[in-house]
């Protein structure tokens, strides 16, 4: 059975994913990827260049705070200056209880994608350094976050 050309075009259109170079205004806001069992990621990018990264690990959370910039139009660098570990997963306080960290940054290859008319932020970790140590295990090889 052959599909009519219009129906075929609609099907192709709904699965088409477009990507383009990033600008600061593209990433402002909250981006999240949550899995079943309360595992996942949340990134918050503010207009004043501050960033918050939350890693959900079932009943625990790690929160990182820092300043972000673009190393080039496809690479986001978050210079981490504070972090905290939280027992519990709900109502994460992102203002108090942080420890200062040094020599810490996250470097991601990044793209904004449009999938079914929804903006998605794709992050691929290039380098994850916390207190001067390689910490690549914090992130998956590809993280696709949806704008909230």
Give pLDDT tens digits for 76-99: 999 999 999 999 877 788 999 999
What's the token pair of residue 111?
């793209």
pTM for this entry: 0.84
What is the average pLDDT across 58-73? 93
Q: What's the pLDDT score for residue 2?
A: 52
- Looking at residue 15, what is its pLDDT? 44
| Dihedral sign computed on CA atoms, order 40, 89, 37, 62 | positive
User: What are the E-state strand segments in the chain?
Assistant: 17-20, 29-35, 39-45, 50-57, 60-72, 75-87, 99-115, 118-130, 133-134, 143-147
Instruction: Check residue 24 and give its pLDDT.
Output: 87
Is the pLDDT score of 10 beyond 60?
no
Q: Do the beta carbons of residue 103 and residue 132 sit within 8 Å? A: yes
Torsion of CA 131, 137, 141, 143, to 10 degrees: -80
Check: CB of residue 42 under 8 Å from CB of residue 65.
no
Task: Name the pLDDT band for 6 (thresholds 50, 70, 90).
Answer: very low
Looking at the DSSP assignment, which residues form a beta bridge with residue 87?
Answer: 60
The per-residue pLDDT of the chain, averaged, comes to 86
More confident residue, 77 or 71: 77
Is pLDDT above 80 for 57?
yes
Secondary structure letter of residue 14 according to DSSP: H
The runs of H, that is alpha helices, within 16-138 are: 24-27
pLDDT score, position 14: 40
Please give the pLDDT value at position 20: 59
Nearest Cα to Cα of residue 55 among 66, 43, 45: 43
Mean pLDDT score, 60-84: 95
At 11 the pLDDT is: 43
pLDDT of residue 56: 94
């Amino acid at each position: 059975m052959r599909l009519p050309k219009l129906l075929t075009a609609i099907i192709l259109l709904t699965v088409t994913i477009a990507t383009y170079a990033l600008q600061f205004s593209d990433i402002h806001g909250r981006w999240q990827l949550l899995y079943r069992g309360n595992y996942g990621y949340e990134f918050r990018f503010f207009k004043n260049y501050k960033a918050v990264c939350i890693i959900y690990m079932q009943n625990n959370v790690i929160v990182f705070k820092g300043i972000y910039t673009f190393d080039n139009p496809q690479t986001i660098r978050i210079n981490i200056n504070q972090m905290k570990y939280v027992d519990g997963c709900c109502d994460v306080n992102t203002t108090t209880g942080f420890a200062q960290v040094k020599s810490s940054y996250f470097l991601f290859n990044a793209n904004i994608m449009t999938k079914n008319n929804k903006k998605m932020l794709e992050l691929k970790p290039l380098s994850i350094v916390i207190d001067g140590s390689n910490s690549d295990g914090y992130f998956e090889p590809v993280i696709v976050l949806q704008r909230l």
